[in-house]
Structure 1
Amino acid sequence: MVLKLVFMSFWYILPAYVANASACIFGGGTPIDLKKCFIDGRRVIGDGVTFKGSFFGILLGTLTGAIQGILINFNIFGQLDFYAGIIDHIILAFLLSLGAIVGDAVGSFIKRRLNIERGKPAPLLDQLDFVIGALIFAYPFAPIPLSMVFIIIVMTLFIHFIGNVIAYLIGVKDCWW
């Protein structure tokens, strides 16, 4: 039962994970804030959230949902308590992906207001901004129990840490956090 709940939690949030990672991998170019400054004189968001990264993050996250919908329709995993139909998976994945990108941008906005430079750590904010954004956007369409939200948060902290260490070791990131 617990293992099924962990799997369902991972399955639910997977498009947001893909969106967040894809935005980093395929990012670069023009930042979303167009290099504009906020009323405090600091950049609104910074160079880390770009049009290109946001586009590919949302696209690949949504594509992940389409693949999930196909797998569920082919009953690959047996009978699971997921939302019926490919279209439902695509809509959920789009909302999760868009929420992940917006959540990451909000996290960057908060870091700029706290005068934390890009790449410098902001514990918990760095790890959870995209997940919280994803859950806020997706919840009205596909609500989940609080137990799944808790599992997603704990799982995200673990996956984020491991992913960053691996990215650092292979030279994709300049710091391990």
Structure 2
Amino acid sequence: MQSIILFIPALIANSGAVITGGHFIIDRGKKFIDGRRILGNGKTLSGYAGGIAIGTVTGFIIYLISTLFNYALGTYGTLAEAIIIPFIMATGSLTGDIAGSFVKRRIGIDRGGKGGLLDQWPFALMAFLFLYIFERPFFMYHYFYVTMIVILVIVPPIHRAVNIIGYKMHKKDVPW
């Protein structure tokens, strides 16, 4: 359970991007060699930076709360790691989201179109990959096999629920 709690920054980053996004479109309207948009208007620098910031701050808050309860929620390690590890997870998460959008455009799914697991897993998988690359000891301790599978199983319903909330708040055009 602690490993899932410690993964929250990766999950929150995606929602943070929706809240802070809308400015400075990453692909600047350009098209890829296939004639389709590279990413689309939904991927913005403000969302990317804002999502990373919100994910990082969330991780730091988890660390602070956990220290109050004798690390019952788990720990990222040192104070510096309580910033670095959530930053890595949030950055990986949003990079995965962007990669998922890139793949969706290549297979002909426009912005707002249903992408199934392409909407849900790339951000989690890329967060895992970034942790593996940049914080391997933390990754190996917390996210080896079973925990990764559990997170990948719970991500789709969580992602769907958050998107429905975002849609009802008029932050998203579609509820998926």
**Scaled by the length of structure 2, what TM-score is found?**
0.88
Q: Does 1:65 align with 2:64?
A: no
Q: Which residue of 2 aligns with 1:145?
A: 144
Q: 1:48 aligns with which of 35, 42, 50?
A: 42
Q: Which residue of 2 aligns with 1:30?
A: 24
**1:56 CA displacement:** 0.6
**1:164 CA displacement:** 2.2
Q: Which residue of 1 aligns with 2:86?
A: 93
Q: Report the more deviating stretch, 115-124 or 132-141.
A: 132-141
| Separation in 2, partners of 1:78, 1:29 | 38
**1:77 CA displacement:** 5.6
| Separation in 2, partners of 1:117, 1:165 | 19
The residue identity in structure 1 corresponding to 2:27 is D
Q: Deviations over 1:127-174 (max 9, x none)?
A: 112111111111230212211101111111121122223333444333
**1:66 CA displacement:** 1.5
Q: Which residue of 1 aligns with 2:76?
A: 83
SS in 2 for 1:128: helix
Q: Deviations over 1:63-83 (max 9, x none)?
A: 112212222333x16546533
For the aligned residue pairs, the C-alpha RMSD in angstroms reads 1.7
The residue identity in structure 1 corresponding to 2:109 is I
The residue identity in structure 2 corresponding to 1:36 is K
Q: Does 1:127 align with 2:123?
A: no
**Paired residues, number:** 170
* Runs of 4+ deviating beyond 6 Å: none
Runs (5+) with no aligned partner, structure 2: none
| Separation in 2, partners of 1:126, 1:22 | 16
Percent identity, aligned pairs only, is 38
- Residue 131 to residue 112, structure 1, CA distance change in 2 (3 Å): same
SS in 2 for 1:33: coil
Q: Which residue of 2 aligns with 1:173?
A: 172
The residue identity in structure 1 corresponding to 2:26 is I
**Scaled by the length of structure 1, what TM-score is found?**
0.87
The residue identity in structure 2 corresponding to 1:31 is I
Q: Which residue of 2 aligns with 1:155?
A: 154
